[in-house]
Amino acid sequence: MDIIFPILGVLFGLGIPILIVVGIFYFILKIKADLPISFSYRGALRVYFYVVILISVGLGGLGGVSTLLKVGFGEIVDREFSYGNVYEEHRYDQQREKEEDYRPDTGDETRSLPEKVELEMKGSLINGVSLTVIGLFLLVVHFLGRWWVERGDERSDLLRRLYLMAGLVIFAIVTIVSLATGIPETLRYVLLDINPGEESPGEALSIAIVALPVWICYLVATLRNIRTSLLKQTT
């Protein structure tokens, strides 16, 4: 499952620095508000639930649903729209075959281009379904666990706001980067006369389509949380 490592790399690469900054920010706000800094088992459990919920959304959404969309683009638009890397690798293999000392290293090099693309699509479909189910399961379990542990007044507290801010920043970055990559690639794919596989916007567009509504959900939840806090301060 080659896809899992880039996804985890993005999640941890973005998530860990953001969580560190959020943690520092949390302690600074506690100190400025002259609130006691205490550690409890229930508080640590809340942090755990929030972290795993973020990972679950990324795993199921960016890893699972986006991969299924990529397969769908390959079926509806064209194979090269989503799997340009297979076309590029096939051209590279053909160039190597022209060399005098060429010897095939694996059985994959002896497959035809349609066979390679079909194999890649089936692998993506399996990965997409698996990661979607795993991510959804983890999300439901930890969402219910968080709901059971939290008290009513804690659903708009500082920890909750920091979690929402972390999710907002992570998915904002993912959405902006994927849109900035996918839209130009799509325009080049449509407007330019290029070789098959030179432009393959399916993956970037799929990630953007999934990340955008998640980003909006975190934005709306963050704004609602801020509004609730302001209403509590005025009453």
The verdict on residue 137 lying in a domain is yes
What confidence score (pLDDT) does residue 193 get? 78
The verdict on residue 166 lying in a domain is yes
**Higher per-residue pLDDT: 147 or 33:** 147
**Higher per-residue pLDDT: 93 or 220:** 220
| Residue span of the structural domain in which 28 resides | 4-32+41-87+123-234
The verdict on residue 140 lying in a domain is yes
**Rounded alpha-carbon distances, angstroms, from residue 8 to 2, 91, 164:** 11, 30, 20
The verdict on residue 99 lying in a domain is no
**Rounded alpha-carbon distances, angstroms, from residue 136 to 50, 61, 116, 160, 220:** 15, 9, 30, 21, 21
Token pair recorded at residue 89: 């690798």
State yes or no: pLDDT of 231 exceeds 90. no
The verdict on residue 100 lying in a domain is no
What confidence score (pLDDT) does residue 2 get? 47
The verdict on residue 95 lying in a domain is no
The verdict on residue 195 lying in a domain is yes
Count: domains in the chain: 1
- Mean pLDDT in residue range 206-223: 95
What confidence score (pLDDT) does residue 135 get? 94
The verdict on residue 192 lying in a domain is yes
pLDDT tens for 156-208 read 777 888 889 889 988 999 999 999 999 999 999 888 877 776 778 889 999 99
State yes or no: pLDDT of 209 exceeds 90. yes
pTM of the full predicted structure? 0.78
State yes or no: pLDDT of 95 exceeds 50. yes
* Cα–Cα dist 7/113, whole Å: 27
What confidence score (pLDDT) does residue 67 get? 93
What confidence score (pLDDT) does residue 144 get? 94
